[in-house]
Amino acid sequence: MGWLFLKVLFVGVTFLGCLYPLVDFCCSGDTRGQKPNFVIILADDMGWGDLGANWAETKDTANLDEMAAEGMRFVDFHAAASTCSPSRASLLTGRLGLRNGVTHNFAVTSVGGLPLNETTLAEVLRQAGYVTGMIGKWHLGHHGSYHPNFRGFDYYFGIPYSHDMGCTDTPGYNHPPCPACPRGDGDGPSRTHERDCYTDVALPLYENLNIVEQPVNLSGLAQKYAEKATQFIQHASASGRPFLLYVALAHMHVPLSGTRLSADRRGRRPYGAALREMDRLVGQIKDKVDRTARENTFLWFTGDNGPWAQKCELAGSVGPFTGSWQTHQGGSAAKQTTWEGGHRVPALAYWPGTVPINVTSTALLSVLDIFPTVVALAGASLPQDRHFDGLDASSVLFGWSQTGHRVLFHPNSGAAGEYGALQTVRLEQHKAFYVTGGAKACDGKVGPPRLHEPPLIFNLEEDVAEAEPLEEGGAEYERVLPEVRQVLADVLVDIAGDKTSRADYTRDPSVTPCCDPHRKACRCHTT
């Protein structure tokens, strides 16, 4: 008995390392077996149509499809923004970018990150006795106190931003293709410059505060994530405390990893092979949950935004959400836009014995809901001094209700106008655009920004492709318009009266992660 206790304590202490004081670790036996564990898996740039359970043309997601049959699948589930950093900031704060300050992406040289006086989900859960871990892409600031280990995560393993924001020795598939990192021992950055490629500094891989590889080996990354996730679940379960694990995958963002893919003898396109690799990785994490803490773990799978259309055949599928009003004007209607293809994402909830099996939910829900839902299920409480945009969706998850949001706001994520501005309003089945614009498409063209006053209004129940706006002056249009105006005015008043934060987007080359400044591309000595 004493030996077991010591062993558990030892595992916990080594695992949490220097980042978690011993005193906090001691007295958590009272929560054993009561609070649920949470695993949140966030895919990157995955299209709604990339999930086989959503879209019959896709046949590459056997594990996810099985998870859908064993849990709940959401078909009207939305990212909180349609680009990386804002979407992730909203997941971890339950607040839109206009409140949490993150309205566009952070750079390799960004000094700041998610504002320090925003409270993250990990901070709230850690306060409630949870062991917290994050694996994968952070992209909420890497310099100083913006690092995940200072934002509520006891454990971190992953890359600080997107994996196209640094060179590697295994460049994989990108469009246009990018070169491998420069080699040799010469001082300073390399001098190669390719359009759309980061060639000066190699992509780093962190474990907690240390760079453990630079450049990271992209071919082995999925396997490493699976191993680290498995170890985290194992150690956290052994510690007797409930856990939160947030896994932000590199898939399906470019570059798509190369080695295993070129060995795909069936000659299927790289995107499908990468989708299968992601599906296997999710399957490995789910298997570990099933073997370790099956009935006490809530697994939530979703995506950060829609496909990156400018990557052509290396971009995913929007399914039926083609945004054809926009694509006829030019540009893409996917990632970086407020068209459905930009933010309607695959979403699955899996919790054997608690979430009903093989159910499709049409409730209007959002990544913003993860924070309030998880906090409620953990028996913790939301910070009282600020407002949240998400809602507690647990009654939908338990199958007691079909009611999600009546109203949802989609912020601009780069395609047109001011970053973060609430340009598009979802009101039940209707969707109103005050600004339209297409992101860069495969043909290199963008759709020009256009203001609409009065707004364009689509009925998504009859027109999922957003092809034909309602006729202005028609009965349906005139019935919907006043309420659209009202809910938009209300949220802006609410935000004006809320505590909001401002992100520091200044840049300084000296904050770039660098293992060894004396080696080309900042290579670590060991790689």
Q: How far is the CB of 82 from ligand NAG (least distance, A)?
A: 24
Active site residue 139: yes
Q: Which of 104, 139, 147, 235 is catalytic?
A: 139
Q: Which of 262, 358, 486, 506 binds ligand NAG (CB under 6 A)?
A: 358
Q: Which of 147, 228, 251, 386 binds ligand NAG (CB under 6 A)?
A: 386
Nearest residue (CB) to ligand NAG, 223 versus 429: 223
Considering only CA atoms, which of 11, 494, 481 is closest in space to residue 233? 11
Q: Is 183 in the site for ligand NAG (CB under 6 A)?
A: no
Q: Is 117 in the site for ligand NAG (CB under 6 A)?
A: yes
- Taking residues 23 to 62 in sequence order and writing x for each that binds ligand NAG by CB under 6 A, - otherwise, the string is ----------------------------------------
| 359-361 and 72-74 strand pairing | parallel
- Taking residues 454 to 493 in sequence order and writing x for each that binds ligand NAG by CB under 6 A, - otherwise, the string is ----------------------------------------
- Residues 405, 310 contacting (CB under 8 angstroms): no
- Taking residues 220 to 239 in sequence order and writing x for each that binds ligand NAG by CB under 6 A, - otherwise, the string is x--x----------------
Q: What angle do CA 392, 394, 398 make, to 5 degrees?
A: 165
- CA 364 vs CA 75, 239, 322, 342: distances in Å: 8, 37, 19, 16
Q: How far is the CB of 118 from ligand NAG (least distance, A)?
A: 6
Where helices occur in 34-120 by DSSP H, the ranges are 62-69, 84-93, 97-100
- Residues 221, 250 contacting (CB under 8 angstroms): yes
φ, ψ at 124 (rounded to 5°)? -65, -45
The Cα 390–Cα 382 span in angstroms is 11
Q: Is 180 in the site for ligand NAG (CB under 6 A)?
A: no
Tell me the two tokens of residue 55.
């879209």
Q: Is 192 in the site for ligand NAG (CB under 6 A)?
A: no
Q: Rounding to the nearest 10 degrees, give the CA dihedral for residues 71, 76, 82, 84.
A: -10
Q: How far is the CB of 476 from ligand NAG (least distance, A)?
A: 32
Q: Quick check: helix, strand or coil at residue 156?
A: strand
Burial of 208 (0-12, 13-18, 19+ CB in 10 A): middle
Q: How far is the CB of 366 from ligand NAG (least distance, A)?
A: 20
Q: Which of 501, 505, 519, 522 binds ligand NAG (CB under 6 A)?
A: 501
Point out the residue whose Cβ comes nearest to ligand NAG: 220
Q: Which of 18, 26, 27, 84 is catalytic?
A: 84
Q: Which residues in 128-167 contact ligand NAG (CB under 6 A)?
A: none
Q: Which of 9, 13, 165, 169 binds ligand NAG (CB under 6 A)?
A: 169
The Cα 111–Cα 510 span in angstroms is 9
Nearest residue (CB) to ligand NAG, 245 versus 261: 261
Q: How far is the CB of 333 from ligand NAG (least distance, A)?
A: 30
| Kind and range of the H or E run holding 425 | strand 422-427
430-438 sheet: strands from edge to edge? 407-411, 422-427, 430-438, 447-459
Q: Quick check: helix, strand or coil at residue 242?
A: coil
| Residues in contact with ligand NAG by the rule CB under 6 A | 69, 117-118, 169, 217, 219-220, 223, 358, 386, 499, 501
Residues designated as active site: 84, 139
